[in-house]
Structure 1
Amino acid sequence: MAALFLGLNVNAARMDMVDVSNNNGYMSTAEYVSMRNEFGVKAVTVKISEGGTYKDPYAASNIANVQAAGLYVNGYHFARYATKAQATAEADFAGRTAKAAGLPIGAVLATDVEAEEQNNQSKATNDRNNAAFMQEIQKFGYRADIYTSGSWANNKMTIKRKTGWVAGYPFVPAGKQWYTNNNAWQWSGSAHFRISYGGFDVSQLYTDYYTAGQKSTVKPTNKNAVKANNHATNKHIYKAAASAKWVKEKKTYTLKTSINLRAGVSTSSSLLAILPAGTTVKTDHAIIQGGYRWVRQPRFNGYGYLATGPASNTLEYVKSGATHTYYTVKSGDSWWTIAQRNGLSMTTLASQNGKSIYTTIYPGQRLVVR
């Protein structure tokens, strides 16, 4: 145990950068100030767009409030492209959307490459498409980069030294840092901040690329709080990972929504397949890890892993014939507030009701939440 805490002090990952999107809801300037002063956050990367049509509704307010808090601001686009032409079109859409939302010239506008569209392509095709996106995005005055998972980096696409923002967790603080040759390492998807609701993606920066190409001038006002909060976050995430144990769970389920089948117990693991609603799934083990409850599905060539819901054990799939629990929409409700209240992702909540997160909901409407 002494060695563990020695490693924690020496190798603790920093919360240099946070990324936010519509999934986090409205974020105030005060929240970003707290992140800076109490947790040592230097930069925030804001979701701008997805595919060729979706504009994050919170992008403009996030950009303005991050800047008001004195932090560096960047953006990212969730890629859906599968061809060079689509990549160029999405970059054009992302660039125009970023400008309209107020993302300053010179900021990074990264392409987030982790979707099934890219999983179905060769490495050469992904490299070609990513290069097309980044070349086009620079025409808007933004600097380009690629975000992807550790399992995809240099497997599904090339991530060169001194480039890239790579996700890989859970972080084990007694071990060495990961992806030190890249711009940034996202080491947790479940960090918590004092006055902000829910879990956040946090990253450690190894270069100055995400701080406007210059040494960061962001200074926290409470260095003791930064040190203590950083230590507590690392310790919490390590303990959650270390305490996770597989338990036997031989069950047969019928999916009530489509679910990603992954190669490992992480949302950053490569995608094996997307199992559609109605699929019968037989599992043999379960574990709570990385903020999700996972089950293991034996396959002819090994195992597949499905995230069934957050650590509260709320399931994204149910046994055949299970009854549903409904929620009646009230004035002021949104997909996000209802999903958070019921321990679901917005996508899951919408999908299990046969809708998308862009569908308008109305007071009095009944939604399936269990």
Structure 2
Amino acid sequence: MKLKNKLLLTGAATMAALFLGLNANAARMDMVDVSNNNGYMSTAEYVSMRNEFGVKAVTVKISEGGTYKDPYAVSNIANVQAAGMYINGYHFARYATKAQAIAEADFAGKTAKAAGLPVGAVLATDVEAEEQNNQSKSTNDRNNAAFMKEIEKFGYRADIYTSGSWANSKMTIKGKTGWIAAYPYVVSGKNWYSTNHAWQWSSTAKFRISYGGFDVSQLNSNYYTAGQKSTVKPTNKDAVKANNRKANKNIYKLSNSAKWVKESKTYTLKTAVKLHTSASTASNVIAILPAGTTVKTDRAIIQGGYRWVRQPRFYGYGYLATGPASNTLEYVKSGTTHTYYTVKSGDSWWTIAQRNGLSMTTLASQNGKTIYTTIYPGQRLVVR
């Protein structure tokens, strides 16, 4: 889904203990969410998710704003049901007023009905767009409440999906409610958001017969599996663990064998700086921090020809490369010439990334966005 600001592991508790020392109950692959970004998903793919990976529920994108209907909603709903799994839906919110929230709820409810989403399913509001970022917490709370009250008139159960940095900051998410997204780069060993209905912990999970990365969530209550019939019966629990481990091998991160030393220091960036997911220039870039950013570090290490420093972040850590014998940070020169791509009708993060040899995450981050930010025809994106 759709994060402004979107590693753990899978259901393999033994791998969790071996690699990350996690709570054995943490980071299960209980629920997957899909949208047009994933393309057509067959019943066979959902059966594989269910039988081989232990997925219980699928939440599909239904609509966005007041006019967009996800073209794959009908087939996704039908094929998930054919696979004997719980089915839910979500609406990507664009509302900024109470009236708009009610109008979008009516649009989402009617679209969900037409697409075949059964009564009793959850139809969540996905709240993370610029429209809500520009509102006060009280305004977002009022609008979210109006949306959820209206959606219940269609026989659906309501909930709010948002990022961990927005929960109880941009809007109120009470205990025993909410579907929260947070992707730590370094696992803290806890079951995140255990008091909420669901925790989305990765957007890059892999499944054996399905292409690309998927959003996966751990369910901390039965809210997303209640009120519906399901025939979810994983064929082999040991196979579920083994396949989860194999399919998500790139999510596991061993601790660095080199020695980190304590460093409590503050840098003020003179130029833009790359923030990496690990202490390697080959690792993914989380973001490009602009000049003037203040960076507080807590660790340093010499590795791969660079001196690296570690920045504590809300979702774990980021890493900045410095020179081997100085504190001059690796930087993107301010005069760098970028290559731009103009978004065309029908484009998606995936298609643009594929054309330019990038991952979707890298493409989005170098444009200051996430893969769940909506892009529009005519918009210019940095691809080099």
TM-score (norm 1): 0.72
1:225 matched to 2:233? The reply is no
- Aligned equivalent of 1:178: 192
1:112-155: CA deviation from partner (whole Å, max 9, x where unpaired): 00111111111111110000000111111111000011111111
Could you tell me which of 54, 76, 83 is aligned with 1:40? 54
The number of residue pairs the alignment matches comes to: 309
- Aligned equivalent of 1:211: 225
Moved more, 88-97 or 1-10: 1-10
1:132 matched to 2:146? The reply is yes
1:284-317: CA deviation from partner (whole Å, max 9, x where unpaired): 3331469654222243676999xxxxxxxxxxx9
Contact 2:164 2:180 in 1 (8 A): yes
Q: Which amino acid aligns with 1:154?
A: N
- Aligned equivalent of 1:270: none
2:16 and 2:55 map into 1 onto residues whose CA distance is: 28
1:169 matched to 2:198? The reply is no
Structure 1 318/81 Cα, relative in aligned 2: closer, same or farther at 3 Å? farther
SS in 2 for 1:10: coil
1:199 and 1:209 map into 2 onto residues whose CA distance is: 25
- Aligned equivalent of 1:88: 102
1:337 and 1:223 map into 2 onto residues whose CA distance is: 36
Contact 1:171 1:188 in 2 (8 A): no
Higher relative contact order (CA 8 A, sep 6+): 2
Map 1:1-80; keep pairs closer than 5 Å: 4-5=18-19, 7-8=21-22, 10-80=24-94
Q: Which amino acid aligns with 2:175?
A: R
SS in 1 for 2:211: coil
1:240 and 1:325 map into 2 onto residues whose CA distance is: 36
1:95 and 1:223 map into 2 onto residues whose CA distance is: 36
Identical-residue share of aligned pairs (%): 72
1:288 and 1:172 map into 2 onto residues whose CA distance is: 9
SS in 2 for 1:45: strand
- Aligned equivalent of 2:163: 149
What residue ranges of structure 2 are gaps of 5+ in the alignment? 1-14, 261-268, 297-310, 314-331, 368-373
Quote how far apart the aligned CAs of 1:4 are: 4.4
1:78-122: CA deviation from partner (whole Å, max 9, x where unpaired): 011111011001111111111111111111000000111111111
Structure 1 323/106 Cα, relative in aligned 2: closer, same or farther at 3 Å? closer
1:37-90: CA deviation from partner (whole Å, max 9, x where unpaired): 111000000001111111111111111111111111100000111110110011
- The CA RMSD over aligned residues, in Å, is 3.8
1:297 matched to 2:290? The reply is yes
Structure 1 241/53 Cα, relative in aligned 2: closer, same or farther at 3 Å? farther
Contact 1:19 1:46 in 2 (8 A): yes
2:271 and 2:147 map into 1 onto residues whose CA distance is: 40
SS in 1 for 2:165: coil
What residue ranges of structure 1 are gaps of 5+ in the alignment? 246-251, 253-280, 306-316, 361-366
Contact 1:12 1:173 in 2 (8 A): no
1:166-213: CA deviation from partner (whole Å, max 9, x where unpaired): 111127556010111111110111111111111111000111111134
SS in 1 for 2:217: strand
TM-score (norm 2): 0.69
Q: Which amino acid aligns with 1:230?
A: N
1:17 and 1:291 map into 2 onto residues whose CA distance is: 26
1:303-339: CA deviation from partner (whole Å, max 9, x where unpaired): 999xxxxxxxxxxx99867475999x9xxx9655454
1:16 and 1:182 map into 2 onto residues whose CA distance is: 14
